[in-house]
Chain A
C-alpha cells in the first residue's frame, strides 16, 4: 500500500496538477479571445503596475484597511507554497529518488511555520463564521476547501510527531497532499493560476483605458 501510493499517487497528483493547470490556462486564453474586450485593452505596464500593488503587503488601500487579514494572508500564502518545497523530509525523498538536492528548512523552523499555517487557517475559518459579510457568502464548499488546504499540514504535523501509527499517518498525509494538488486546477483554489490574469486585466482596464489607479 505504502509502496503503491508513494510510487504512483505522487505521479498522478502532479500530472493532474500540471495538465489541469495547462488546460485551465489554454481555456482561459481561448475564452479571453471570445470575450473580445480583453486582449485589445491589456498592456504590460499597467498589468505589472497593478500586480505590484497587490503582491506587496499594504501597497493597496484595502490591505491597509483590513491589515489583520493582510498579515495573515501573506504569511499563509507564502508558507503554503514554500513549506512543501523546502521541508527536509520532502527534499530528502526527492534527492533519494532522483539525486538533485537543495537546501531545506530546519526541523524546528518548519514545525513553527506549520503551526502558524494552521493558525492562519483557523483565522480564515473564524472570519467565515464570525464576519456577517463573509458568512453570508459562505457555501459548504468553502469549508471543504479550507479542510483540503489544512489536511496536508495537519497530517504532516502528526506524522512528524509520530502520534499515531506512523506509516498510516504518512499515507494519509500523502493522500491529503495529492488531493490538494489535484484540487487546485478544478476548484476555487485555481485563484493560484487566475490571480495574475484577473489582476492584470483589471490593472489594464483601470490604468490603460480609464487612466486611473486600482489599488
Chain B
C-alpha cells in the first residue's frame, strides 16, 4: 500500500533472542498456546471479525500516526495473529520480532477498541495472546524482560532488596514526621483495617509518595499496615510481557501477604496496571473468581476519606487542573466519577478532558509499553499526539493522574510536545490541601 518504512529500533531482547530460535520450537510453542491456552474467545473472535476496520478510531496509535492502518487495532492483529494462525505457527524469527514490536511496544492493551468494535471483540486479549507466544519464545523487549526477571527473583519489579525496603520506609517515616509529627508506617500489624501496597518504583524512585501516604493515613486516623517482607509490591510486569506463570506467583504473594496479616482489606496505591493485575488478571490465572480479600484502588480510598470527613480540606488547590483517566481503573473499574468528585473536592479550577471517562485515550505508556524502555520511547511519544492535543485543549497547568504508568507516560508527552504542564499524583495534591489538626502539626 506504499506505507512509509518505520524506523528500525534495535533491542537485544528481540534481536539476540531471535537468533536462538528454531522453526520447530516456534511451531511447537505457538501450537501449544493455541491448543492448550485458548478456546472460545480466540475461535469466536476470529470467526466473527468481518474486517470492517471500525475499531480504528478507538486507537490513539492509529489517530496519532495520521491514520496509518498498521497502527489500527485490527491492523495489528492482522500483522500478527492472523498470519500466525494462517501459517499454523510456521513463521520465522524475523516475523516474530515484528510481532513483539507490535504487541509489546505499539499496543497498550487499554481495551478502548473493545468499546468501538460493534461485536465487542476483545482485541487487547488477542494482542496479549501474541505477547504470550513471544514471551514463551523469549522474545520480549529487554527492558521489559528485566522487570519480569526482577519480579521472578525478588518478587518486586525493581530489584529492591529487603534491607533497602525497610530502610526506605524508615527514611520516609522520618520525612513524613517533618509534616505530621505522629506519622508512622506500621509494619506487619496483624488485623489492621488497611493493608497498603504499592508498586516497586515507589521505594526506588518516588519514595516521597510513601511519606505522603503516611501523612494521609495519620491525619485520616486510619488503622493501616505494610508488610516488611515480600508482597509489598503490587505491580506486575509479567502480566504484560506474557509470562503468566510469574504473574501468578507475584499476585499470589501479594494477596497472601495481606491474608497472613489478617487485614480487613487491601488498599492499593495510585497505579492502574497494578490494580488490573491484583483484581482481574492475577486471580483469573490463579483460578479465583475474585480476589480473596476485598481490594480497592486509591481513588476509592481517598473518596472514602474525603466524603466521610476523616480528612478535611483547608484550602482548595488553586491552579487549573485536569485529569488523566487511567484505563485500568476507569475503563477497568468505573472509578472516573469518583476521581472527578475527589478532584472537585480538593481543586478549585478543574477542566474536564475531552474525551473523558471510559472514552479517554490511554496515556500511551500503559500495558508494559513504557517498560520496554528508552529504545521505544520515540515511537511511543509519536504514537500519542492526540493525548497532547487533548491536554492542550483543557488549558490546565496541572494534570492529575492516580496511576504510575500514566504519570510517567504523560510526563514524556508533556516534554515531547512542549506542553509546559506538570503531572501530579492525587496524593501530592491532597497533602498540600488537607487540614492537619493542630495537635498533629510538626
Would you give 18 A-B contacts (Cβ < 8 Å), ordered by A? A31-B43, A34-B39, A38-B40, A38-B41, A41-B289, A63-B118, A66-B57, A132-B67, A134-B51, A134-B53, A136-B69, A142-B50, A188-B47, A188-B48, A201-B120, A210-B331, A211-B333, A211-B335
Shortest A132–chain B CB gap in Å is: 5
Q: Which residues of A contact B (CB under 8 A)?
A: 27-28, 31-32, 34-38, 40-41, 50, 54, 60-63, 65-66, 69, 127, 131-139, 142, 145, 188, 190-191, 194-195, 197-199, 201-203, 205-206, 209-215
Binds A, one of B22-30, B72-80, B192-200, B252-260: B72-80
Q: What residues of chain B lie closer than 8 Å to A34, measured between beta carbons?
A: 39-40
Binary per-residue interface labels of chain B (46-75) against chain A in the complex, 1 for a CB within 8 Å, 0 otherwise = 011111111011100010000111101011
Given the interface pairs A62-B116, A132-B69, A210-B332, the reply to whether A138 lies near B40 with Cβ below 8 Å is no
Residue of B nearest to A204 (CB): B120
Residue of A nearest to B283 (CB): A37
Check: B310 CB closer than 8 A to any chain A CB. Answer: no
CB-defined contacts of B432 to chain A, threshold 8 Å: none
Cβ distance B296 to chain A, nearest Cβ, rounded Å = 12
| Cβ contact within 8 Å between A202 and B114 | yes
Q: Is the CB of B75 within 8 A of A212?
A: no
Out of A27, A138, A139, A194, which one reaches B119, CB within 8 Å?
Answer: A194
Report B's interface with A, CB cutoff 8 A: 1, 38-41, 43-45, 47-54, 56-58, 62, 67-70, 72, 74-75, 78, 114-116, 118-122, 280, 284, 289, 330-335, 358-359
A31 with B44, Cβ < 8 A, contacts A40-B289, A195-B119, A198-B120 known: yes
Contact partner of A198 among B39, B45, B78, CB < 8 A?
B45
Q: Is the CB of A37 within 8 A of B284?
A: yes
- CB A47 to nearest CB in B, in angstroms, measures 10
| New contact pairs (14) apart from A132-B69, A133-B69, A191-B47, CB-CB < 8 Å | A40-B289, A61-B115, A62-B58, A132-B67, A133-B53, A133-B56, A134-B53, A136-B78, A142-B50, A142-B51, A188-B49, A198-B48, A206-B114, A214-B115
Residues of A within 8 A of B54 (CB): 62, 66, 69
The CA-CA distance from A50 to B284 in the complex, in Å, is: 23
Interchain CA distance A133-B71 in the complex, whole Å: 9
Chain A residues lying within 8 Å of B330, measured Cβ to Cβ, are 212
Contacts of B118 in A (CB 8 A): 54, 62-63, 195
Contact A136 B70 (CB under 8 A): yes
Q: How far apart are the CA atoms of A50 and B115 in the complex, in Å?
A: 10
- Whether A198 lies near B115 (C-beta < 8 A) is no
Chain A residues whose CB sits within 8 angstroms of the CB of B335 once the complex forms: 211
Expressed in whole angstroms, the Cα–Cα distance for A40 and B290 within the complex equals: 10
Cα(A199)–Cα(B41), bound, Å: 12
Q: How far is the CB of B356 from chain A (nearest CB, A)?
A: 12
- Contact (Cβ within 8 A) A35 B40: yes
- Nearest Cβ on chain A to B265's Cβ, whole angstroms: 17
Given known contacts A28-B44, A137-B78, A54 and B120 CB-to-CB distance under 8 angstroms = yes
Residues in A with CB closer than 8 Å to B334 are 210-213
Structural contact, A32 and B62, CB atoms closer than 8 A: no
B289: chain A residues within 8 A (beta carbon): 40-41
Q: Which 10 pairs between the two chains have the least Cβ-Cβ distance?
A: A202-B120, A211-B334, A136-B69, A31-B40, A34-B39, A134-B53, A35-B39, A32-B40, A133-B56, A133-B53
